[in-house]
Structure 1
Amino acid sequence: MLASVPERVPHWHSDNEIRNAVLRQVAVVESKMEQTRALLREQSKERLQLYSKLNSLSPIDRLPSEVKTEIFHNALLSEDFHGGDLSVTPFFLGKICQGWRNFVWSSPMLWTDIHLCLSKRRYESQTNLLREWLSRTAGCALSFHLTTVDSSRTWILDPPMEILVAFASVSTRWKEIEIFIPDNEGCFDAISVGSLPLLTTATVRLLDPVERKINLFSMAPQLSALHLYPEFYLDTVTAPWHQLREFSHSESSTVDEIRGFLHKAPNIVRCSFSNIDSVVLNSGSLNLDLFDRPPMLEHLEYLEFSFCSVNTESTRILGPVKLPSLREISLSGPFGSSLPILDSIMTSFNSSPLLEIFTLGGTISSDHDLIRILEKIPSIRDLCLSFNTSRYELLTNQLLQRLCPPHENILLPNLRSLTYDGPTSLNYHMHLLRDVLVYRFRQSTLHSTELHSEPRTSQIRSVTVIAADKLDIGPDIQHDLDTLVRQGLVLSLTSARKPRFGA
């Protein structure tokens, strides 16, 4: 009799059971994992709440909101924040913690300073971001700075209309602005506004010369500082000149344009003109008393004239004017063969007893001419001479001998700081420079102590010389200079080719 064969279980049935069993185990593990994740989420929330509670104990979070806003606002305006390539915005503060983010998002004052560097590549996103940014400013006064990383020609052909329209929509809240404007009629239409009631400072650059009248600033009752960069022509601009305290113009200006401005701006305190063309235009249509009547500039403290050409017309810009408040002058131009002209210009400063700082640049032909100029301003304390493009050698024995005894009429008795940059014959007169420094830094003080009288000269504190050629300083003179430096004199003697001495 044959034995019975046991029935075989199908292999696939066994695999399914195993698979199902494993899947059930996986489901159990995933369930436990989800429970763990849920627990972690709850614990994370609890941790955040604890950190928030901990942060609330920090000194800054205990400050009144007004004080905290002021601290954050000053941080955003800090030069340290804006000095690098990374643009720091309120978004930066919002990343610190949840509490700071909530505070920043609800503080319009922190969004009132806008720095926007336009880029064609990012223009659309910048436009959207600007609209969102402006929506956070509520009704606060705004300061904005509009620059670009692209070439000017790019924006001339395709002007940033949407950006200008967005800024123009809040023009009644402009406080300080720095913008560039393409020469495009649509751009001027976009920013044409009836009134700028809060505007105090405006810096505007045109990308192309504009001959049309610019009335953007005609209704700005608080405007006190106006800076116009290329390509503005002065006679095309309408502004409340009588109330300006600061003004600068970098486009080519003529003698009659500058003279006309000075007559219209009696309250000006700081004034700067670059690229002055020494001509008088439209002489037939000039106001008869434009040059006959001196301008009233009783408040002027800082004056800068940079001439691209010099002739007798240059002297008519100021004329016999009184400048009782003037403290600082900066003049530059091709004065090499024009001493009578520069001498006449300097005569305008004879009535400036408060004058302390004088900068002279460009070219001047000799120390003889320089001495004649400096004799007109004996009150100077800080003197800066920049002749690095000149071929004339200065700081000769003629000038050095006028700066210390035995000369009876010592030049610039109040001098405390001297900076010279340019060609010099100083290598032939290094001993005279040493004598000047020793007397001005050390002996003048000793002299006044011994005689119980006022010193003939003030103590010089800082001297910088940047010569065109290498300076040769002998060991004896070097020792004396080192001694002065150890005693406190700030001294730097260098050459454009190789540093020689610095402290």
Structure 2
Amino acid sequence: MSLNDSDDSRAQYLESGIINVHKNDPPSHQGGYLSDVRASLFGHSRPIDKLPFEVLAAIFSWCCPTFNDHYRGPPLSPVMLSHVCRSWRQAALDNPSLWTYLNLTVAYSSVGGMEKACDQLRLWVERANNCPLLVEVEFVESSQRWPAANVFYDMERLVNVALTYKPSLFSEGMELRAALDATSVSPPSPGNYPQVMEQYTWAKTGIRPDRPLRGSVQIHSNRHSEIMFGLEGHYTIGKHLIHLDLRDPGDKIRLSVEECQIALSDFPDLEFCALRIGESTDEVAEPLVLWRLQTLSLSWSDRVEVGDLLDSITAPSLSELELRGPLFPREFYPGNRWTHLPVLLRRSSPSLKLLTLANMDGTTVELLRCLALCQGLQHLSLESCRLDEEIMNSIEVGEGLTHERARRTVLGLDYLGLISCEVFGLNDFLRVSLETPFWEEANLSKLYIINSGFISEDVLSAMTRLPLDEFETDPALLEDLV
């Protein structure tokens, strides 16, 4: 080519040569080389090319999602910027703060889906350098249904990528933790199996995603999965499962007492457990010690006996306990007492802070004895329960160590809720308590007495003047008072 040829001819000649040399490069790379050639041939320069490197990097930082702002740009913005031209690529690669957030959608059962996800994660891990990296993964189903356990193994693969390509990562104290939550999904359509949300987290305990440690990597993932045959598909999660909530909106997940016992034994490190029980069995429950269990919520249907399940559990760390379900008539129990709850509290000796009971008779469940065993209780909620003369008189004037400890527990409460309860002599109890130092000694700040018995106008007026942060009763009563 002679020097007299036109600039256009020279450009076409050089461009064809560049494409031939870089024919194996991605098209985006070729486009970057070609734009550089055109600018040099024709003396063109873009205004952005005149910006100092630091300014260009600052502009890029506002175009890319980060660990504390996921919406500054599309998930793969750093890659897109690095493919424009050589100068932009250098600016993107020299700025680790652009690589602090990665969002992946993985068709986990498709061919090559996980390989692509691992490659993208490796790229971000290497380029983030000492900046923190937050990874969020959404596992989605392909057309073929696969066992639920596959996702757990895929999550382990992602963790291994982070450990392999970031050897400086201080991973001590980082746990792979899992949760199954049915409350966050919509009710299934007729004929479908109920679903749960599977959530997996690999991070240091107690570290918030938006406040990571320098040089750290956090991986959070989730997916919806069907519970087809109980929990069998999830048992491989084992000790990694810390949160189990199967209270689905459609109320279709109902385990037997035996299935509940199997689940608790297969997930020994549970910290939160909420289950609905649909039937009881005659199987002998094996003893279970759940050292980390902090919250236990059990609800059950009519004619279901959960006493054997409670008798099998020892939970020293229990701080919140919720029991919702009708008990058999008194004559079914020795001495007309359902002793399983106080026995659980005595055996575990937990530092219980919250107790909720629903659809129970306070005498049958031995409420006074339970309160005596919960000296640190802060929140007591009774719903559709019956508090008879024995309980009300014992709280007011009962003598003996059990009564004194129960009274002390009531005085130490911060919250008391009586919702749709049958309370013997409620108005008289409140009247007498107002004439004694009871409310002065009490720590109560929130009191709810709703649909639980008659309250006279003078007693109600005095109650509204108590130094409570919140006091709520039947709206009709308050209207009459006004």
Q: Does structure 2 retain, via aligned residues, the 8 Å contact 1:397–1:432? A: no
Paired with 2:422 and 2:194, the residues of 1 have a C-alpha distance of 47
Shift of 1:226: 10
Question: Is 1:294 matched with 2:293?
Answer: no
1:249 is aligned, of 240, 246, 251, to 246
- Alpha-carbon shift at residue 332 of structure 1 (Å): 0.9
Judged with a 3 Å threshold, the aligned counterparts in structure 2 of structure 1 residues 412 and 310 are, in CA distance, closer, same or farther, namely farther
Aligned mates of 2:351, 2:227 — CA distance in 1? 32
Partner of 1:303: 296
Q: Distance in 1 between matches of 2:221 and 2:318?
A: 18
Q: What SS does the corresponding residue of 2:347 show, helix, strand or coil?
A: coil
Q: Which digits, 9 at most, give the CA deviation of each residue in 1:418-467, with x for residues without a partner?
A: 3324334669533522544763441x3xxxxxxxxxxxxxx422232242
Q: Between Structure 1 and Structure 2, how many residues are aligned? A: 342
Name the CA distance, whole Å, in 2 between partners of 1:296 and 1:190: 25
Are 1:474 and 2:466 counterparts? no
Contact 1:440-1:460 at 8 Å conserved across structures: no
Could you say if the C-alpha distance between residues 474 and 137 of structure 1 is closer, same or farther in structure 2, counting changes exceeding 3 Å? farther
Change (3 A) 1:302 1:229: farther
Cα 1:265–1:369, aligned 2, differ >3 Å: closer, same or farther? closer
Alignment of 1:26-425 (within 5 A): 73-74=67-68, 89-91=71-73, 107-112=98-103, 138-139=124-125, 142-144=135-137, 163-164=140-141, 185-186=144-145, 194-197=153-156, 198=159, 200-203=177-180, 208-209=192-193, 231-232=227-228, 233-250=230-247, 251-268=253-270, 270-280=271-281, 291=285, 293-312=286-305, 314-319=306-311, 321-335=313-327, 337=329, 340=333, 342-365=338-361, 369=365, 371-372=367-368, 374-375=370-371, 377-387=373-383, 390=384, 394=386, 398-405=390-397, 407-408=399-400, 409-410=403-404, 411-414=406-409, 415-424=412-421
Q: CA deviation at 1:357?
A: 2.5
**CA distance in structure 1 between the aligned counterparts of 2:397 and 2:477, rounded to whole angstroms:** 32
The 3-state SS of whatever aligns with 1:298 is coil
More relative contact order, 1 or 2 (CA 8 Å, 6+ apart): 2
Task: Name the residue aligned to 2:166.
Answer: none
Q: 1:111 to 1:383 in 2, by over 3 A?
A: same
Matches within 5 A, 1:422-461: 422-424=419-421, 428-433=425-430, 435-436=432-433, 439-442=437-440, 444=441, 459-461=442-444
Counterpart amino acid of residue 297 in structure 2: E
Give the letter aligned to residue 297 of structure 1.
L
Q: Give me the whole-angstrom Cα distance separating, in 1, the residues matched to 2:225 and 2:418.
A: 27
Q: Does the Cα contact within 8 Å between 1:463 and 1:491 map onto a contact in 2?
A: yes
The Cα shift of 1:368 comes to 6.3
Amino acid across the alignment from 1:200: R
Residue-by-residue CA offset, 1:189-232 (whole Å, 9 max, x unaligned): 99667542135334466953399xx9x999x9999999998635
Q: 1:380 to 1:315 in 2, by over 3 A?
A: same
Specify whether residues 380 and 433 from structure 1 end up closer, same or farther in structure 2 by C-alpha distance, changes over 3 A only.
farther
- For residue 356 of structure 1, what is the amino acid of its counterpart? L
Distance 1:402 1:74, change over 3 A: farther
Identity of aligned residues (%): 11
TM-score, L = length of structure 1: 0.52
Three-state SS of the structure 2 residue aligned to 1:90 is coil
Partner of 1:81: none
Structure 2 CA distance for aligned equivalents of residues 249 and 301 of structure 1: 17
**Contact map agreement 2:418 2:452 (CA 8 A) in 1:** no
Q: Is the CA contact (8 Å cut-off) linking 2:180 and 2:199 kept in structure 1? A: no
Q: Is the 8 A contact 1:327 1:355 kept in 2?
A: yes
1:307-333, CA deviations, whole angstroms, 9 ceiling, x for partnerless residues?
Answer: 124444x22214254332222211111
Q: CA RMSD in A?
A: 5.5
Query: In 2, Cα distance between the equivalents of 1:404 and 1:317?
Result: 34
Quote the offset at 1:276 in angstroms: 0.7
CA–CA distance in 1 between the matches of 2:145 and 2:288? 38
Query: What SS does the aligned partner of 2:311 have?
Result: coil
CA distance in 1, matches of 2:239, 2:224: 17
User: Structure 1's 468 and 379: CA in aligned 2 closer, same or farther, altered over 3 A?
Assistant: same
